[in-house]
């Protein structure tokens, strides 16, 4: 892993590496959008959080569908190109949606105030958010794979100039955008903040485009997701057929190198491999949507059997979502001075990212790639989720105490005399949650699914977090409705100082604890396949020596 990372940086003269600018700047732009919506649009903080969480949820879920398009039609190069232009257009529209830009053309209100946000600005803003989501999802899907393609095809040309290239790449790809993020923070006008990000992203895209003739591109080879659809279609077409008592009578290509032994779980799907006596076998083999191999059926079974345990991962996405929204809203009006120096708000993002990387590294060093390493890692990340919510609740209680003592309940714009670094522990715990969870869930999927589906499972792990992030919008609504029953004030008011965000954090802590218990029970029940993280062999799905009988009924036991 470290060698691949180092060698990919060694290819700095390759023009595609500048596209990482777009990712860094877009993450920063959307990370600060919570502040923009509450300070400029004057939205209720829960409304602003809903917009931001819907954005991040879409970014996390969309790559699964985009990966299918890449494999079936587009290829990585075209996905990277399209998503890069989406980035450029999205950040450009985001800059144009700020009041001064349109006011320059119309001569109307140009202040950063709600009355200056017209219908045109809103349309541009939401269009920009959709385009940026498309760009970020496209890069998440294909940029890493595209860089890997260039590295694999030109590995022999990198060794001679590796040290110099590594230094140049580190300077251009890492230091430049990070330094830019901290510099942009001190620029007050939002139009310029977003505008600089848009210009840099457009420049990066044009630089990438100039080298298109020299890139190594691979044609789309077809998506393994098609196998799942074929199994569903074939089994549905034979739903009233009886499976043979002897599983050896089901269709399989014995001369194919990769095979999975038959199992008795989800027996209704075995109908996809039934050989009809009324048609010649050769004719049935030509119609892959009516006859599937046993191996293809077992691949589909292994994925479906993971769904129950996967549902426990969603709540971690709910907890993770509070970092991009409510944590930022808390930090915005807290004291950011250290002596005479006023630290920039993105410093918390830096601590979060650093904690995420370090906890992921510790996880691998302790034994993240052992057979039960991913399972244990997921449990540890759930414990981090509980600790993060508890810490956040206690810090928010202290913050509300400071608000009351200084009479700031009705003064939401005033700075609270409480250091921003009180929020640091919860950002570090959140980094631990995301760092361990991202890796352990990804490896859990890779170990438990067929090799052809491994890359989809990494994206599926991210998508589960995305479902949780979108679900956080619903959780806030339900908690607000339940807490406001019987004439009681809701925990979510118009401003953060009037709300009881600490109670919401305690609720999430209780739900996370219950989710951990459920996950432990699911882990005990789940039938694990042999781990492939230490070798490249296909998993052993077990053998079924006993014949079975199936009458059209579906037995959905995955154990």
361-394 confidence digits (pLDDT tens): 888 888 766 777 888 899 999 999 999 999 999 9
**Angle value at C-alpha 52, between 50 and 55, nearest 5 degrees:** 105
Cα–chain-centroid distance for residue 146?
A: 19
CB distance 541 to 263 below 8 Å: yes
- The per-residue DSSP string of 330-378 comes to HHHTEE-EETTEE--THHHHHHHHHHHHHHHHHHHHHTTTSTTHHHHHH
Write the pLDDT tens digit of every residue in 65-99: 898 888 888 888 889 999 999 989 999 999 998 88
Q: What mean pLDDT is predicted for residues 337-348?
A: 84
pLDDT at 380: 92
Whether residue 413 contacts residue 333, with contact meaning beta carbons closer than 8 Å, is answered with yes
Contact 507, 413 (CB under 8 A): no
Q: What does the pLDDT read at residue 158? A: 44
pLDDT at 517: 95
125 pLDDT band (50/70/90 cuts)? very high
Task: Pick the range with the lowest mean pLDDT from 6-15, 452-461, 472-481, 524-533.
Answer: 6-15
What is the structure's pLDDT at 14?
54
pLDDT of residue 172: 54
Distance between CA atoms of residues 198 and 553, nearest Å: 57
Instruction: Compare 152 and 62 and report the one with higher pLDDT.
Output: 62
Domains and CATH numbers, the chain: 1-220 (1.20.1250.20), 225-304 (no CATH), 312-526 (1.20.1250.20)
3-state SS string for 123-191: HHHHHHHHHHHHHHHHHHHHHHHHHHHHHHHCHHHCCCCHHHHHHHHHHHHHHHHHHHHHHHHCCCCHH
Give the Cα separation of 495 and 501 in Å (integer). Answer: 11
Residue with tokens 């194919």: 256
Q: What is the DSSP letter of 550?
A: B
Share of the chain above pLDDT 90, in %: 24
Quote the Cα angle for 89-93-95, to 5°.
Answer: 120
Distance, CA of 356 to CA of 435 (rounded, Å): 4
pLDDT above 50 (res 535): no
Which is nearest to 87 in space by CA: 147, 146, 30, 128?
128
What residues pair up with 243 in beta bridges, in sequence order?
550
Percent of residues, the chain, with pLDDT higher than 70: 82
Residue 242 sits at φ, ψ, to 5 deg, of -95, 135
pLDDT score at 166: 44
Q: Which of 56-65, 214-223, 298-307, 477-486 has the lowest mean pLDDT?
A: 214-223
Q: How confident is the model at residue 266 (pLDDT cuts 50, 70, 90)?
A: confident
For residues 398 and 422, the answer to whether their CB atoms sit within 8 Å is yes
User: What's the pLDDT at 218?
Assistant: 73
Q: Is the pLDDT of residue 550 over 60?
A: no
Q: Is a pLDDT exceeding 60 seen at residue 5?
A: no
Average pLDDT in the 421-427 region? 93
For the chain, the average pLDDT equals 80
3-state SS class at 416: strand
C-alpha span between 498 and 408 (Å, rounded) = 10
Q: Spell 377-398 as b/e; 16+ CB within 10 A means b.
A: bbbbbbbbbbbbbbbbbbbbee
CA–CA distance from 246 to each of 40, 239, 279, 397 (Å)? 69, 18, 20, 65
The model's confidence at residue 12, banded by pLDDT at 50, 70 and 90, is very low
pLDDT at 510: 95
**pLDDT tier for residue 3 given thresholds of 50, 70 and 90:** very low
CA angle 82, 324, 120 (to 5 degrees): 55
């Amino acid at each position: 892993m470290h060698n691949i990372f180092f060698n990919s940086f060694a290819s700095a003269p390759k023009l595609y590496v500048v596209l990482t600018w777009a990712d860094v700047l877009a993450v920063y732009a959307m990370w600060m959008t919570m502040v923009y919506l509450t300070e400029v649009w004057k939205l209720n903080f829960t409304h602003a959080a809903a917009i931001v969480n819907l954005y991040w949820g879409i970014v996390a879920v969309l790559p699964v569908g985009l990966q299918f398009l890449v494999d079936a039609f587009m290829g990585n190069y075209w996905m990277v190109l399209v998503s890069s232009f989406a980035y450029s257009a999205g950040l450009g529209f985001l800059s144009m949606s700020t009041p001064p830009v349109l006011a320059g053309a119309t001569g109307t209100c140009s202040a950063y105030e709600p009355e200056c946000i017209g219908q045109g600005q809103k349309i541009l803003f939401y269009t920009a958010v959709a385009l940026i989501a498309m760009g970020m999802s496209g890069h998440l899907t294909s940029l890493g794979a595209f860089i890997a393609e260039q590295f694999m095809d030109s590995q022999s040309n990198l060794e001679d100039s590796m040290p110099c290239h590594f230094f140049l790449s580190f300077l251009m790809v890492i230091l430049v955008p990070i330094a830019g993020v901290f510099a942009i923070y001190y620029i007050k006008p939002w139009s310029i903040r977003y505008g600089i990000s848009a210009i840099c992203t457009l420049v990066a895209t044009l630089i990438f485009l100039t080298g298109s003739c020299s890139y190594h591109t691979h044609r789309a080879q077809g998506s393994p997701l098609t196998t799942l659809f074929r199994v569903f279609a074939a089994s549905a077409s034979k739903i009233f057929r009886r499976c043979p008592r002897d599983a050896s009578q089901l269709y399989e290509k014995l001369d194919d190198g990769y095979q999975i032994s038959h199992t008795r779980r989800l027996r209704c799907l075995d109908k996809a491999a039934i050989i009809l006596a009324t048609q010649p076998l050769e004719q049935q083999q030509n119609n892959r949507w009516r006859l599937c191999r046993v191996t293809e059926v077992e691949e589909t079974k292994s994925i479906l059997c993971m769904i129950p345990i996967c549902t426990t991962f969603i709540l971690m996405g709910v907890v993770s979502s509070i970092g991009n929204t409510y944590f930022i809203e808390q930090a915005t009006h807290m004291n950011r001075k250290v002596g005479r120096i006023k630290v920039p708000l993105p410093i918390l993002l830096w601590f979060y990212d650093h904690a995420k990387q370090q906890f992921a590294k510790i996880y691998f060093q302790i034994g993240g790639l052992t057979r039960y390493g991913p399972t244990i890692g997921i449990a540890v990340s759930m414990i981090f989720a509980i600790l993060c919510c508890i810490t956040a609740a206690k810090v928010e209680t202290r913050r509300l105490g400071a608000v009351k003592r200084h009479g700031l309940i009705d003064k939401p714009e005033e700075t609270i005399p409480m250091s921003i670094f009180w929020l640091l522990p919860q950002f570090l715990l959140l980094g631990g949650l995301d760092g361990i969870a991202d890796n352990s869930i990804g490896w859990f999927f890779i170990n438990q699914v067929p090799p052809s589906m491994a890359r989809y499972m990494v994206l599926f792990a991210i998508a589960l977090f995305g479902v949780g992030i979108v679900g956080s919008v619903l959780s806030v609504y339900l908690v607000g409705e339940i807490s406001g029953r019987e004439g009681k004030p809701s925990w979510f008011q118009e401003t953060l100082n009037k709300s009881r965000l600490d109670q919401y954090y305690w609720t999430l802590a209780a739900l996370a604890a219950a989710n951990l218990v459920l996950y432990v029970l699911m882990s005990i029940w789940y039938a694990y396949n042999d781990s492939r993280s230490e070798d490249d062999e296909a998993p052993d799905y077990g053998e079924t020596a006993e014949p079975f009988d199936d009458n059209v009924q579906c037995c959905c036991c995955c154990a």
